[in-house]
Structure 1
Amino acid sequence: MLTITLRRLFLPGDIEGFVALALENFVKLILIVTLCQEVLGFSPNLIYGRILPGIALSVCVGNCFYAWLAYHEGKRQSRLDMTALPYGVNTITVLPYMLAAVSGSCFPKIDLALIVWALLIFPMFITAQFLSISWITQTILWSLISFTGLLAMVTLSNYWLYKKGLIWLLYCWIVLMLCGLICTNYAIFFGCGELLVQICNLWLGLSAIGYLFTGIGVHSRALIFIGLLHIVAALLLPYFSSWQFLFTGIVMSFSLLLLAEFQWDMQN
């Protein structure tokens, strides 16, 4: 009886779920450490002595609690297929805390908007590249997070663009992002294979258009260069066919962080 119970406690799917959860949280921990060190200037003692141990403790306690709930719920319903809810570092939770900390630093709001998108984009493409989560689930989740990013972008950049007389650029980016979301959701929900294999090209192309328009609008060579970089990345995608989501995520998120970290030229 004990052997049967142990066999039911650990199934092949549990290993797959554990690896997926661990990899996703590992990527987010790298982002947290990088942002805390490079953006917020936190000391290593604070990061490795307080923040990371606190995250580790919360993840252990959270997963044990959900496992206990799943065990007792399965026992109450006399079911052996009850699964615990995976618990880990949540992007939507990390983002507000990071923004609250960064908002007190030297970064202006326009740079915060760039950081927000970098924090959102990289986990999206990493999930698509490495995790065996259904496309429908990923689409729903990341569509919601993308709308959160759009809201943050409007909130953080609206005043700056209005003062510069460039509010049309905000509308341009909103239209481009909505077009990308609509095309992505259509390709996945309606099984449009020809469009689905071009998802990375689509997002690199839309981003390139946005950067070029923005660069022309503010007379910035740096933004025009970033737009051209996205076009080159789209042309190089066939050489990274097996890693296209990772490659796209790195290009898009690195470009955003680069623009947020360094001052770029502007003549408007």
Structure 2
Amino acid sequence: MNNNTFAHALSATLACLGMFVLTSCTGIFDDIYDEPQKEVVPAKGQVVVDATSWTDWYYIDLKQLQQLTEAGDDDALLKAQTEHEPWSIPMTLTGESDGHSGQYLYWFDVLGSGIENNEFRSYTPCDAQPEPTEWSFAVHRNNVRTNGGAVFKTQYTSMDQLPESSDAFKNETFVEDEWTEKEVWDNKDQMLLGLVPSQGIKINKVLSSWLNFKFNIPPDYIPDSHVFVLRLNDGTYAALQLVDYLSPAGKKCWLTINYKYPY
């Protein structure tokens, strides 16, 4: 094969690879923008969160859900189970920087050895993440954070398998939220170049493991059906389980979550 023929073959191969990855990323990252084909009605003890946005957090208040359940206000409970206000990730600085909140740009070796191989590129100070007064946990796509809580992953894959009381877990090691600069991805525009900005924020890596992101070809999300126990900041406990991450239309990061509170 002469040099010109080899160059054309290499160019065609890279073009095909680029188109394949782009198609794969469109299916995974852009998802399907159509509205769901049918209404999602959560069962008792479930919340449904459209967490497909790259730029928003959604907060769940388990105490509010319990209060509405006890009050028998079915309409208000359904709204709390399915309608969640988006809280945007700050992209600018309007006041004084706290020195760590902001946008962290990393290069990820997405087409080589994988995203585990990465390099810091830049930091842009931004405002800290806003949040409501009362909340238990929050979700952003496959990321989860708690309100000063801690999490333990159980061996159980059904809420029915749980011990009767959370006292069974009080001697277990619960993991608190940890700082991250490269896991809360919030913009995909330069992803094929390996450049992905992330929000600097604390997340709970144990609870976030219920939906692991894998940048394979094609990329995918790997769900974990185990039940997690959340210890809230007031010392009460809840049981949480991700039971689905797809909408009826196939959009990823559309979360259906079982909950039990108080547990």
TM-score normalized by structure 1?
0.29
**Between Structure 1 and Structure 2, which shows a larger proportion of strand residues?**
2
Q: Comparing both chains, which one has the higher relative contact order based on Cα–Cα distances under 8 Å and sequence gaps of 6 or more?
A: 2
**Between Structure 1 and Structure 2, which shows a larger proportion of helix residues?**
1
